[in-house]
Copies of this chain bind each other. A is one copy, B any other.
Amino acid sequence: MAVSLPGLDDGASGARAPVGDLSAIQELVALDLERVNALILDHMQSPVALIPQLAGHIIAAGGKRLRPILTLAAAKLCGYEGDRHYPLAAAIEFMHTATLLHDDVVDSSDLRRGLATANAVWGNKPSVLVGDFLFSRAFQMMILEGSLPVMKILADASATIAEGEVLQLMTANDIATTEEAYLQVIASKTAALFSAATKIGAVVAGRSPAEIDAVEQYGHNLGMAFQLIDDMLDFSAREAELGKAVGDDFRDGKMTLPIVLAIGKADAEERAFWHRTMEEQDQTDADLEHAIMLLRRHRTLEQTFERAREFTDRAEASIRIFPDSPARRALLDVVAFCLQRGY
């Protein structure tokens, strides 16, 4: 599933494509994931029929279950053999799903993973409320598991995610947004849940603070890279592969790194273009193409990819303090997969 990247396609980048997919990690945790999926199915039930209907739509919609898979694999890396992490992995998927439901309302999105969004099918109201229900269910599952340190990790992540989403709203349409502000947004809205997901795998295994920290850093850096590649793909992917419209971030006025970097290098005419399209939200159909041309001119998709590579390098380095094992190899494959999406 190679993806067409303007600027990399023209052979300007000499880097070799990383190789990686999710098959090793999916195989590693296949049996565990069945347990988690059963818990997810069980806990999304409610006598209020619309809840399992709407929740099932998004939960079954072909998501990769990447975050719960990371919890399961991190626990394996740390030699954990119990079952405390199953409800926690399910809770993490619920938190993620609740966030997606609310995101799609906030962004007025119609498509996700190639399917109509819940808000497009049922409207905004049930999407907001079923999101709240799934948040509550996530906390119920954590409480069932009963470990305070784990609950604290997840509640903190939940608050951080909301802060990141609000910060993203505040930087939207603001062409003065800095790279630092952008990195803060994605650290909060995306990387916080990746790092919480991996960290609790090490915490339930009772590993040392240094090991817990290494696993957490792996998750954080993977999450940063994951979001950077996502933001790059929003401009460079083919629609069928993206599962949603290309250029959504541009149309929403979201200040993602490819645009932030391009504005940093803009001449007066280019600045006027970004001012009109991003700040005044005055866009025509042709503007997306012009925006992508400017990103190519300043090579900011490549630069975004290189930033992602810096984060994946750190993710790799963190995990290498553990001895070689199938779990470590699978987690390294995820890093390569993350980068490869951007190739």
A residues engaging B (CB < 8 A)? 46-51, 98-99, 102, 105-106, 124-126, 128-133, 135-137, 139-140, 143, 146, 148, 151-152, 155-156, 158-159, 161-163, 165-167, 169-170
Q: How many copies does the complex hold?
A: 2
- The one of B98, B105, B126, B148 in contact with A166, judged by C-beta atoms closer than 8 angstroms, is B126
Contact B133 A163 (CB under 8 A): yes
The secondary structure that dominates the A interface is helix
A156 (CB) vs chain B CBs: closest residue: B140
A135 (CB) vs chain B CBs: closest residue: B135
A165 (CB) vs chain B CBs: closest residue: B129
CA distance A113 to B131 in the complex (A): 26
The answer to whether A155 and B139 touch (CB under 8 A), given A48-B166, A51-B163, A167-B48, is yes
Contact A162 B102 (CB under 8 A): no
CA distance A148 to B147 in the complex (A): 9
Q: Please, which residues of chain B bring their CB within 8 A of the CB of A47? A: 163
12 CB-based A-B contacts, threshold 8 Å: A48-B163, A48-B167, A50-B169, A98-B132, A105-B124, A105-B128, A106-B128, A124-B124, A132-B161, A133-B163, A133-B166, A140-B152
Q: Please, which residues of chain B bring their CB within 8 A of the CB of A130? A: 162, 166
Please name 13 further chain A to chain B contacts, defined as beta carbons within 8 Å, in addition to the given A47-B163, A133-B162, A139-B139, sorted by A numbering.
A46-B163, A48-B163, A49-B170, A105-B124, A105-B128, A106-B125, A129-B166, A132-B161, A133-B159, A133-B163, A136-B159, A136-B161, A139-B155
